[in-house]
Chains A and B, each alone.
Chain A
Amino acid sequence: MITRQFGSEVRWMLRRPRTLIGLFGLVLVPIIISFGIWTAGEDGGGGGPGLGAIIQGNGMVVPIFTLFLSLNLLLPLVASIWAADGLAGEAQHGTLRGLLVAPVSRVRLLFVKLFGLTAMSLFAVTLMAVVGIIAGTAFLGMNGMMTLSGTTLSTGEGLLRIAFFIVLVTFQMVSIGAVALAVSSTTEHPLVVQAATMTTIIVFQVLGQFPSLDWLHPFLITTGFPGLVDVMRDPMPLNQIWDSTLLAGCYLLIGTGLAAMRLITKDS
């Protein structure tokens, strides 16, 4: 029964025109980045090797670079849209009532929504990474993965690192989505959810810039984003990655908990 509900949820999300447009937009990011780096490499005639020369033959950096960039704004936006449609959007269309009368227990409904969010996030992030690898290889060539430590990993190991990075980024995205789901359970207006989530992410990033607020920084989910780049080091140090993931995990738990509390007592 629950697999059927999971399936229906993902099918429903994939059928939305805005999901398809969103995915198309996300796919453009690695292509544009690859193209940008490629054209930057064209005029390396100045002093010393240009950016392109450094990154030449290093197409496997593109997926990591793409996801790393997108995590700051684009991926939270997508997660918030899915979370907003999941509960607030369903309430707005009156379909939430239908689900509850079917009946789907409210806790289970939340898990169905979380599953949909996770599945779609993983799909979106993987899609971006795959397109990143292809575009990166096409524009820049593939010759193993050059790490930030200066060593070069074999293609196989590079792919493993990319896969690991996909999981890490997806987890961050789902955690933000879980908090957005908590907001989503309180309103009938999807836009409120998106606005609240994006405002929070931006405010967190601004707060993260002030050294005087360093006591606050360990609590901001955005503080954990830069540390994830450690997957590009050799050997890979795990403390920052672990800290970021733990922090995101807290957000996931709190978001899910709040959403569950709200859903259980909600009048619809």
Chain B
Amino acid sequence: MTTSTSAPVTAPTQQAVAARTRGLRKEYGSTVAVDRVDLELPEGAVLGMLGPNGSGKTTTIRMLLGLVRPTQGEIELLGRSLPDGAEQALPHVGALVEGPGFHPFLSGRENLIRCAAFEPLLEKRDIKHAVEDALERVGLAQAAHRRYRGYSLGMKQRLGLAAALLVPRKLVVLDEPTNGLDPAGTREIRKIIAELHDQGSTVLVSSHLLSEVEATCTHVAVLHRGTVVAQGELTELLQAGGSALQVITPDVETALSALRQAKISARPLGEGLRVELAGTSAPQVIETLVKAGVGVYEATRWKTGLEELFARLTEAEEAERGMSAVDTLDGGPR
């Protein structure tokens, strides 16, 4: 299924956008679900959309797909403005929104065939092939003849993904794709996202699993209370969060005073100390320590984890504590 492309894999400075929103606002009655959302999805990027429950992720995605009319604002999808250009843009978009939706009395295969019948880009003679391909790709070929009613949550999710991948897409939108999947299934989704990225497709993933986003995405947009509080390239966002050095040493006291003399901020942490790298660099810190006769067993660069960044953006009170990074699998020293 994977086709190797000779073109380089997405230049990071590419200007073209796959989707863009301007001043998006959606009201349901008197509640404002989404407000002033300016989202930019660069072509070829894998954008992770993060946000707590009810932050407007799904509403934004539904507006992006023309399912919901915005109260205000503009949407551009693959160069077409919505909702008027939906019929031109949407055939190139595969989507899994708000969980998979299928008919319980049909088998997985029959469900996909029904989806395929409504795909404008699929010729009638190619339907069978496309359906089998998609089933194979998500690992459902064995269970394709079974009724959807009897599928496990993970299988349902896979079928939803298969429907999104029936046709080669320019943009794939996945709303919580790993919901209900076991770790192996999660890895497969990650693999599929990477494949899509390699083929040059743009991917929009919304997830509440931060590690998920950190592992697969090139770009991140953080939503909070219906608006985008941060977006950009993942690496840039994380760098902006500052970095630190974790030093393992028995002489914490000596080390602290040496660093204090060198005007480097540090604090004890665990079996050693955590040194902020603002205005200094790792070699400088280690040099200072070694010169002061401190035994350094280990020094590791500690980048801000996405979780820490996320917590800071969405929970103002816990901004400075950086605690969550310690508790997570992926926010630790690297």
Residues of A within 8 A of B (CB): 1, 4-5, 7-8, 12, 15-17, 93-105, 265, 267-268
Contact = CB atoms under 8 A, between A and B. Distances in A.
B87 A95 contact: no
Nearest to A11: B114
Interface string B213-233: 000000000000000000000
A5 B101 contact: no
Contacts of B87: 103, 105
Nearest to B28: A267
Given A8-B114, A8-B118, A103-B90, A97 B69 contact: no
B115 A103 contact: no
State the main secondary structure of chain B at its contact with A: loop
B101 A93 contact: yes
Contact of A15 (B67, B69, B86, B106): B106
B66 A15 contact: no
Contacts of A104: 118
B271 interface: no
Given A4-B124, A7-B117, A8-B114, A100 B102 contact: no
Nearest to B100: A94
Contact of A265 (B69, B101, B106): B69
Contacts of A102: 90-91, 115, 118-120
Contacts of A4: 117, 124
A83 B103 CA distance: 16
Interface residues on B, range: 20 to 34
Given A267-B67, A267-B69, A101 B95 contact: yes
B68 interface: yes
B65 interface: yes
Contacts of A7: 117
B248 interface: no
Contact of B99 (A8, A94, A265): A94
Interface in B14-70: 62, 65-69
A155 to B, nearest CB: 41
Given A12-B114, A102-B90, A103-B90, A93 B67 contact: no
B12 interface: no
B129 to A, nearest CB: 16
Given A94-B98, A268-B67, A103 B86 contact: yes
A5 B117 contact: yes
A97 B63 CA distance: 12
Q: Most B CB atoms within 10 A — which of A95, A96, A98, A268?
A: A98
28 contacts: A4-B117, A4-B124, A5-B117, A8-B113, A8-B118, A12-B114, A15-B106, A15-B110, A16-B105, A93-B101, A93-B103, A94-B98, A94-B99, A94-B100, A98-B101, A98-B163, A99-B118, A101-B66, A101-B67, A101-B97, A102-B118, A103-B66, A103-B90, A105-B86, A265-B69, A267-B67, A268-B67, A268-B68
